[in-house]
C-alpha cells in the first residue's frame, strides 16, 4: 500500500471521526433519567432542615434551634472587586449571584457579563454555607439571618484584599463572625468562621459548604463550541477526578469521605467549586430534588470550650478556569480544564503555548511559533517522508509506463511496481510515521484551543478577533484549502485514477469542514501547511538535482 493511499485513509478516518463527534453532539441520544420524576422541574422552595448536611460522626441531620425564616427575608449585600461583581444575602450569609468582570457572554456585547450564580429561575445556582452543631445546640446554618453594618463593599484602589464580615449571636451566648475575604485579581474566595463560645457548655460543630444548581441539558450545536464541553457536577476525592452522572446520584446518593478533596459544578470555560481545608478529611454528599442537585462538603467536628474561640475555614472558587489560579487554589482543580484522553499531550502543549504568549503577548503569534516548534520537532521524520515522496514523484513516468504495459492485470502491475520501488530504493510507506505521530498532536491542540479559557475571545489580527471561534468570513479556511491543494501538487499523484480524484477533492472537503473549527486551529493547520510546502519544495529540488 503506497503512502498516498495511507494518507487518504487516515484523512478520511479523521474527517469521519470529527463528523461522528459532531453528529453525536447534535443528534446523539441525551441521558434519560431513571424515572419520569427524577429531573422534573420544580420551583425553588424555602430552606428546610432536610437541606442541611449531616455531621460526619452521625451522618444524619439534627434539628436546629433556629427556625427557618421565610423566603426573601434576607437583605442583599453587593461586593465589587476588580474581577467579580457579587451579591450576598443576609439570609444564611451566602453568595447567591456572581458576574465575571472582563468575561462577556459575547464579545460584541461587553456589558453582558457571564453570570455563574443566580438565586432563582432556570439558572438557579447558589452557594450555601454554615455551621452544624451536635446535640441540638445553637448553630448558624444557611437558614439564619446574619447582621452586617453595610450594604455594599468595594475593593479600594491600591488595596489587595477586601473583607466582608457578618455576625450572628444565639440567645444563649454563642457568638459567630462569618468573614469572606476577596483578593485582587483572584477568583478564589476565603470563607472563615470565628466562633466564640459564651455559653456554659462546650460547643461541638463543623463547617459546611454546599453547591445547589438546577440541571439544564445542553443544547448541542456544531457551531456553538460551548456545547462540546461537559456541564454538571464533579467530585475530586484527593486522588481521582470524576464527572458525576445525575441518574446515578439519584439512584445512589454520593457518600464519600476524603482528604484534599472538593466538589464543583462546571461548564465550558467556567466553574464553581467548594473546597474544604487542605490536609483535613471532609465528607461529601449529594441530594437531588426534582431537577435541582445539591453537593455538600462538611468538615471535621471541633469542640470549643466555654469562653474559647474556634476557627473554621473553607475556600470557594467562582470564575474562569485560569489554569495558574486553579493550581494555586487546590490540588486537582486544574483537571476541570477537560482535555479528555489527550491530556498528557494537551497539557504540555498549553504550557509551551502559554510561555510563548508571555513572550509575544498575542495568542495568534503564539500559535504560529508553536507550529514552528512542532514542525522542527518532527523535521527529520517529515524529511524522510518528503524524500520518499520526491523520489516517487520522479518515478511517475516509469509507473505510468508500467500501467500501460500491464493494463488491467493488477497482480502483475503490483509486482512490477514493487520491483521498481526496490530497485530504486524507494519506500512507499515511509510517510506513515510522520502522519501517525502528528495526528494526536493536532487533536490535542484542538482541545487546547477549545477548552483553555485563556484563549477565549482572544484576538489575533485583522479580521480574526476571536481565536476560539470560527473565522467570521471563512478566509482562513479558504487559505488553508489552497495550501492543501499546493501540497498535493508537490507530491506524487496516486496511480489509481479514482483515488487521484478523491485526493483532489480532499482540499475542498477539509475547507468546508474546517470552516466551523476554531480560527486558532485553522491558523495552526494553515501555517503547518506553509512550512510543509517550503520543506517539500526544497526536498524536491534537491532530489531532482540528484542530491537525495
Query: Is residue 185 in a domain?
Result: yes
Domain annotation covers residue 235: no
Find all residues with CB under 8 Å of 473, minimum gap 6, and list them: 463
Q: In this structure, are 198 and 55 located in the same domain?
A: yes
Q: State the total domains in the chain.
A: 2
Q: Which residues constitute the domain of residue 248?
A: 47-219+241-334
Query: Same domain, yes or no, for 329 and 452?
Result: no
Cell 440567645 appears where?
171
Q: Does a structural domain hold residue 351?
A: yes
Domain's final residue, options 303, 334, 365: 334
What phi and psi, each to the nearest 5 degrees, are found at residue 163?
-105, 135
* Same structural domain, 59 and 203: yes
Would residue 234 count as lying in a domain? no
For the chain, the distance separating the N- and C-terminal CA atoms, rounded to the nearest angstrom, is 23
Residue 36 within a domain: no
pLDDT at position 4: 43
Last residue of one domain, picked from the residues 334, 360, 394: 334
Examine the domain organization and report whether 324 and 354 are in the same domain: no
User: In this structure, is residue 299 part of a structural domain?
Assistant: yes
CATH of the domain at 56: 2.70.98.90
Instruction: Please tell me the distance from the alpha carbon of residue 272 to that of residue 117, in angstroms, as a whole number.
Output: 8
Both 189 and 277 in one domain: the answer is: yes
- The rounded distance, in Å, linking the Cα atoms of 95 and 272 is 11
- Which residue, of 334, 362, 381, is where some domain finishes? 334
Q: What's the grid cell of residue 417?
A: 511496481
The confidence score (pLDDT) of residue 6 equals: 43
Q: What is the pLDDT of residue 64?
A: 40
Q: Is residue 171 part of a domain?
A: yes
Interior angle at CA 331, CA 330 and CA 336, nearest 5: 85
| Pair (247, 303) in one structural domain | yes
Does 71 share its domain with 122?
Answer: yes
How far is residue 446's CA from residue 147's CA, in Å, rounded to a whole number?
50
Per-residue confidence (pLDDT) for residue 433, from 0 to 100? 60
What pLDDT, on a 0 to 100 scale, did the predictor assign at position 290?
84
Alpha carbons 343 and 450: distance in angstroms, whole number = 13
Tell me the three cell numbers of residue 36.
419520569
Q: Are 290 and 437 within one domain?
A: no
Q: Is the pTM of this model over 0.85?
A: no
Q: What is the pLDDT along the chain (548 residues), one digit of tens a residue?
A: 334 444 444 555 555 555 444 444 433 444 433 333 344 544 444 444 457 888 876 444 444 434 344 444 689 999 999 999 999 999 999 999 999 999 998 888 888 999 999 998 888 999 999 999 998 888 899 999 999 989 999 999 999 999 999 999 999 899 999 999 999 999 999 999 999 999 999 999 999 999 999 987 766 555 455 556 788 899 999 899 999 988 888 888 999 999 999 999 999 899 999 999 998 899 999 999 888 999 999 999 999 999 999 999 999 999 999 999 999 999 999 999 988 788 889 999 999 999 999 999 999 999 999 999 988 887 777 766 666 666 666 666 776 677 667 767 777 777 777 777 677 666 666 556 666 777 788 788 888 888 889 888 888 888 888 888 888 899 999 998 899 888 877 766 665 566 667 667 778 888 888 888 888 888 988 998 898 888 878 776 776 666 55
What whole-number distance in Å separates Cα of residue 69 and Cα of residue 88?
Answer: 16
Q: Which of 243, 226, 42, 191 is nearest to 124 (CA)?
A: 42
Do 312 and 398 lie in one domain? The reply is: no
Q: What is the pLDDT of residue 34?
A: 35
Residue 450 domain flag:
yes
> CA-CA distance, 472 to 515, in Å (whole number)?
9
Residues 102 and 61 in one domain: yes
Shared domain check, 412 and 485 = yes
Same domain for 372 and 519, yes or no, is yes
Amino acid at each position: 500500500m503506497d503512502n498516498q493511499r495511507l494518507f487518504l485513509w487516515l484523512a478520511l478516518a479523521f474527517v469521519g471521526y470529527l463528523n461522528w463527534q459532531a453528529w453525536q453532539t447534535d443528534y446523539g441520544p441525551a441521558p434519560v433519567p431513571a424515572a419520569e420524576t427524577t429531573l422534573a422541574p420544580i420551583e425553588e422552595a424555602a430552606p428546610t432542615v432536610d437541606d442541611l448536611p449531616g455531621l460526619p460522626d452521625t451522618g444524619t441531620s439534627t434539628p436546629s434551634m433556629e427556625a427557618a425564616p421565610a423566603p426573601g427575608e434576607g437583605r442583599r449585600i453587593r461586593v465589587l472587586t476588580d474581577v467579580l461583581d457579587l451579591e450576598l444575602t443576609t439570609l444564611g450569609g451566602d453568595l447567591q449571584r456572581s458576574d465575571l468582570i472582563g468575561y462577556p457572554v459575547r464579545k460584541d456585547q461587553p456589558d453582558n457579563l457571564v453570570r455563574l450564580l443566580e438565586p432563582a429561575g432556570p439558572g438557579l445556582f447558589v452557594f450555601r454555607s454554615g455551621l452544624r452543631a451536635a446535640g441540638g445546640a445553637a448553630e448558624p446554618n444557611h437558614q439564619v439571618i446574619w447582621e452586617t453594618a453595610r450594604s455594599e463593599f468595594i475593593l479600594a484602589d491600591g488595596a489587595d484584599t477586601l473583607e466582608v464580615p457578618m455576625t450572628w449571636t444565639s440567645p444563649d451566648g454563642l457568638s459567630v463572625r462569618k468573614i469572606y475575604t476577596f483578593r485582587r485579581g483572584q477568583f478564589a474566595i476565603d470563607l472563615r468562621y470565628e466562633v466564640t463560645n459564651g455559653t456554659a457548655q462546650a460547643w461541638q460543630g463543623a463547617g459546611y459548604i454546599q453547591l445547589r444548581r438546577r440541571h439544564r441539558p445542553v443544547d448541542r450545536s456544531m457551531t456553538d463550541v460551548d456545547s462540546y464541553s461537559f456541564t454538571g457536577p464533579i467530585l475530586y476525592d484527593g486522588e481521582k477526578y470524576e464527572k458525576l452522572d445525575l441518574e446515578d446520584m439519584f439512584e445512589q446518593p454520593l457518600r464519600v469521605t476524603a482528604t484534599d478533596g472538593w466538589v464543583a459544578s462546571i461548564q465550558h470555560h467556567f466553574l464553581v467549586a467548594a473546597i474544604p481545608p487542605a490536609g483535613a478529611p471532609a465528607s461529601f454528599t449529594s441530594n437531588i430534588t426534582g431537577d435541582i442537585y445539591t453537593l455538600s462538603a462538611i468538615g471535621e467536628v471541633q469542640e470549643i470550650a466555654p469562653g474559647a474561640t474556634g476557627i473554621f475555614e473553607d475556600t470557594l472558587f467562582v470564575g474562569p478556569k485560569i489554569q495558574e489560579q486553579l493550581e494555586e487554589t487546590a490540588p486537582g482543580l486544574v483537571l476541570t480544564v477537560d482535555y479528555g484522553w489527550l491530556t498528557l499531550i494537551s497539557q504540555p502543549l498549553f504550557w509551551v503555548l502559554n510561555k510563548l504568549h508571555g513572550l509575544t503577548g498575542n495568542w495568534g503569534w503564539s500559535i504560529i511559533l508553536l507550529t514552528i516548534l512542532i514542525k522542527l520537532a518532527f523535521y527529520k521524520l517529515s524529511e524522510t517522508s518528503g524524500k520518499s515522496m520526491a523520489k516517487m514523484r520522479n518515478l511517475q513516468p516509469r509507473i505510468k509506463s508500467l500501467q500501460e504495459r500491464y493494463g488491467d492485470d493488477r497482480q502483475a502491475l503490483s509486482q512490477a511496481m514493487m520491483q521498481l520501488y526496490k530497485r530504486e530504493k524507494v519506500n512507499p510507506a515511509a510517510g506513515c510515521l510522520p502522519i501517525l505521530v502528528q495526528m494526536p498532536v493536532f487533536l490535542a491542540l484542538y482541545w487546547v484551543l477549545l477548552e483553555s479559557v485563556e484563549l477565549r475571545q482572544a484576538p489575533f489580527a485583522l479580521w480574526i478577533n476571536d481565536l476560539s471561534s470560527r473565522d467570521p468570513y471563512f478566509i482562513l479556511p479558504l487559505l488553508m484549502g489552497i495550501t492543501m491543494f499546493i501540497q498535493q501538487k508537490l507530491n506524487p499523484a496516486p496511480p489509481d485514477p479514482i483515488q487521484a480524484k478523491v485526493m483532489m477533492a480532499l482540499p475542498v472537503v477539509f475547507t468546508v469542514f474546517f470552516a466551523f473549527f476554531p480560527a486558532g486551529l485553522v491558523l495552526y493547520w494553515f501555517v503547518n501547511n506553509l512550512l510543509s510546502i517550503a520543506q517539500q519544495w526544497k526536498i524536491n529540488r534537491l532530489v531532482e538535482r540528484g542530491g537525495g
